Structure 1
Amino acid sequence: MSRIHWCWVVVWALGCAPEAGDAPLAQRHDPVIYGDDNRLDVPVHPDPAWQAVGRDTVVALMSPRVLDTRDPDRVRVRAATLRDTQALCPDERFVDQPVAADCSGTLVGADRVLTAGHCVDGATCDDLRVVFGWHQTADGAFGQITADDIYRCVEVEAWSLDERGADLALIRLDRVAAGRTPATLRLEPEPLPRGTPLVLIGYPSGLPAKIDDGGQVVVPGGPTRFQATVDAFGGNSGSGVFSAQDGRLVGVLVAGQQDYVVDGRCRRVNRLPDARSPAESLIYPAVLLDLLCVDRPQHPLCMPVGEGWCQPCAMDVACPTGWTCRLLEGVPGQGACAVGCMGDGDCRADHACVAAACVPRPGPTLCQGGDVWQEDACGLARRRVERCPVDGPCR
């Protein structure tokens, strides 16, 4: 992992409700804690692998009206605090942190994000911003957000909103999320076993990103939905839920239980026993293929990767038997499944034998954001190879 340099993002405490016309995206999830409150800010989580997912895979869905991009190198987030927006008791956690995210999402392709259907549709896509890296450390500092971390929604490629069925949306971004790490989807039709340990990463109540690694499957359900005890809140709608065993995306959070409870003149987070049912409702990601691939069989997410070739990964267990997850050069946290080799002849044509493993060959170069980037043959990673002159075209 590369060193993370955390800088300030200035947050303006507004202390007032949104004006008419500034209503947030629909939120159908109620806040609740199961057992202990396991939420941690991304930069202080003890596992660097989950930090990387929170930094490079999970996104906040925001209104452009909360983002001041006049200085593209230092984007300002304008938001009231959780205390002000939810009238929380002063000893509740995170009460002084800002609330700016309407929903959460997960990068699942080079320029695709998966979220809940009630978070975005074709009519609201243009008024949505997808933001990487909105995090806060224990000392109150923020990770630096620049204009390069902010993307626009240009198309909703698949969408469903069914209270008893699928509640999913797949959106296409205005450009490739260069240097980011798409999640590996669990697409098996079988339900997850009861007790499967889970990790939820998203933006609870609109706060900076949190990691909750204490959840588990309590009702396997299937084929569309299952229930789990993840500590989830309104802004977690659309959050990715990952297997703690292999790092794959196994669910999308869409609904939950009773919200905050009144305690005198303020409110507190509703706390429920761990491993209870009913719990939080999630959608299996395999449902996405049913929504997408009938009409778009050539979509990148509908094309089989083929027994490990060009398969993104975070851990060895996400790869076929006998394969390992190898980090891609120049892209911290980005991995591809690799099989052993003695020479290039043991690899597929678009792979080379490097350090006894088949890895993607360098691919084409492309212009983006005024710079030249090189993509690998699988389209899994991009690295900047040249900075173009100011006001000059890429060569």
Structure 2
Amino acid sequence: MRNIVTVLLLLFGFSAFCQTKSDSIQKMDSLLKKKEVNKIIEELEFKKKATLKNKNFKIQNLEFNSIQKNKIIDLKEAQKKIDLQEIQKINEIEGLQEVEELVIKSTSIPFQQEALYIGEDELEGYNNDINGTPRLHGPSQFDSRIELRELNPDIDWQWLILRRNESVGIIIEKEKINKISEDIYQLDISNSLERTYNLCSNIPFRTQPTVGIGTTFIIGENEMITANHVFNKKLEDYVIVFGFEMLNKNGIIQTVINVKDIYYPQKKIYNSEIYDVVIYELDRPVKRPVLEWKRSSSLKEGNEIYMIGHPSGIPKKIAVNASVIKNSHDQYFYTSLDSFQGNSGSPVFDFNTHKVIGVLVSGELDYTFNGNCNELNLCKYPYCKGEKVIRIENIMNNRY
């Protein structure tokens, strides 16, 4: 009898144990399902935010296209006023020559690699129209950099520059770009040009964000070229981005980048320390135009040129109203281009053919310190050599 009671007690205890375990399993299942539901909700919220940013990205693009077709006249009027003010200031100091002498004698502190120049005929020769179209001007007579949105696609030579722009990208370090959804990335624009380089309040584009370290352009289906010194880390530490530019005069900048406009360098296929250039392959073919090139040796001193790039790592600019100032060396030539450190690797174009004639690799100082902040470094040939451009034919003929 005692054995039967013992067995019944054991059976009752085992049944209770099983019931307790079953209840625990059900609770665990319930908790897991709750976590899965929360995770799904979080994913839906994330996708919702990403979709909203994607819509904003598309709206910005539509706004850019509209502005390109309907250029605002008041911007050009403002530029004319700036030019007149600058000329009046120069006249007050008894002519341009005295200004140059003051610049040359002034004490300067090296700040960057490359510089601005006052070209020989910048005040006169570049005021003429181009094929009946008024010439474009930068923020002042000493700075000829312009935004892409200032180009009118209905004017042939400006449309050709816009087309070349599609093949020029910016080189940034990977930590400067963040993934916000499967197809959308956000550039880190936390640092302005003014704050990064302690610039004076009259420096053009000072409020724009600085993101990149160099410029690069397409020379093959999945091949690009830049200045060799730009890649001072491992190749996999960098990203190539297309489309980082100013969208309208209100200051909207394209900082949300679609994944199709982002590429990753894979390996170097040509590297020259003599020319300071490097050609590298990308992770996939680029669905953008390959830039055509021509021999630069056929150019003459004084021939007009222009450059597309990212000066100081800011949104893309076109440096116009420049020329070849010295063309006697076999490997390179010097120009009056308004270039800056981030322009290293930028394509330089013959204005008449819109073909690449060289790669910008170096120059003089960008800024000089006045005791409080950094000002633009103004310099005139022959006191300064000019901005150095490697001949494209030397690179393309020696790459294999």
Which of 277, 293, 310 is 1:185 aligned to? 293
Is 1:124 equivalent to 2:261 in the alignment? no
SS in 2 for 1:155: strand
> What is the percentage of aligned positions where both structures have the same residue?
24
Distance 1:34 1:129, change over 3 A: farther
SS in 1 for 2:229: coil
Which of 224, 234, 243 is 1:113 aligned to? 224
In structure 2, distance between residues paired with 1:134 and 1:148: 13
**Would you say the 8 A contact 2:114–2:366 is kept in 1?**
yes
SS in 2 for 1:75: strand
**Would you say the 8 A contact 1:230–1:280 is kept in 2?**
yes
**Would you say the 8 A contact 2:214–2:344 is kept in 1?**
yes
Distance 1:93 1:28, change over 3 A: closer
Distance 1:220 1:62, change over 3 A: same
**Residue correspondences, number:** 265
**Would you say the 8 A contact 1:159–1:291 is kept in 2?**
no
Pairs within 5 Å for 1:1-395: 5-6=62-63, 29-35=113-119, 36-46=142-152, 47-54=158-165, 56-79=166-189, 80-120=191-231, 124-137=234-247, 138-143=249-254, 144-162=256-274, 166-178=275-287, 180-187=288-295, 190-273=297-380, 278-293=385-400
Structure 2 runs not aligned, ≥5 long: 1-59, 65-110, 120-141, 153-157
Segment of structure 1 superposing worse, 257-266 or 225-234 = 257-266
Superposition deviation, residue 78 in structure 1? 0.8
Superposition deviation, residue 185 in structure 1? 1.4
In structure 1, distance between residues paired with 2:266 and 2:339: 28
SS in 1 for 2:322: strand
Matching residue's letter, 2:244 = W
**Would you say the 8 A contact 1:34–1:231 is kept in 2?**
no
TM-score, normalised on structure 2? 0.62
Distance 1:260 1:182, change over 3 A: same
Higher strand share: 1
CA displacement 1:18-46 (0-9 Å, x = unmatched): xxxxxxxxx97323243531101122234
CA displacement 1:206-232 (0-9 Å, x = unmatched): 111000111110111332111001000
**Would you say the 8 A contact 1:29–1:236 is kept in 2?**
no
In structure 2, distance between residues paired with 1:64 and 1:43: 28
Distance 1:92 1:223, change over 3 A: same
Matching residue's letter, 1:5 = L
The equivalent residue for 1:372 is: none
In structure 2, distance between residues paired with 1:206 and 1:78: 12
Distance 1:34 1:206, change over 3 A: farther
Matching residue's letter, 1:85 = T
**Would you say the 8 A contact 2:363–2:386 is kept in 1?**
yes
In structure 2, distance between residues paired with 1:291 and 1:270: 35
SS in 2 for 1:171: strand
Higher helix share: 2
CA displacement 1:37-95 (0-9 Å, x = unmatched): 110112223422212222x1111011011001232444211130001001011221111
CA displacement 1:288-307 (0-9 Å, x = unmatched): 134312xxxxxxxxxxxxxx
The equivalent residue for 1:370 is: none
Matching residue's letter, 2:279 = L
**Would you say the 8 A contact 2:364–2:384 is kept in 1?**
no
**Would you say the 8 A contact 1:61–1:130 is kept in 2?**
yes
In structure 1, distance between residues paired with 2:150 and 2:327: 31
**Would you say the 8 A contact 1:28–1:255 is kept in 2?**
no
SS in 1 for 2:196: helix
Matching residue's letter, 1:203 = H
SS in 2 for 1:94: coil
**Would you say the 8 A contact 1:260–1:267 is kept in 2?**
yes
SS in 2 for 1:5: helix
Structure 1 runs not aligned, ≥5 long: 8-26, 294-395
Matching residue's letter, 2:271 = W
In structure 2, distance between residues paired with 1:28 and 1:96: 19
SS in 2 for 1:106: strand
Matching residue's letter, 1:226 = F
The equivalent residue for 1:16 is: none
Matching residue's letter, 2:399 = L
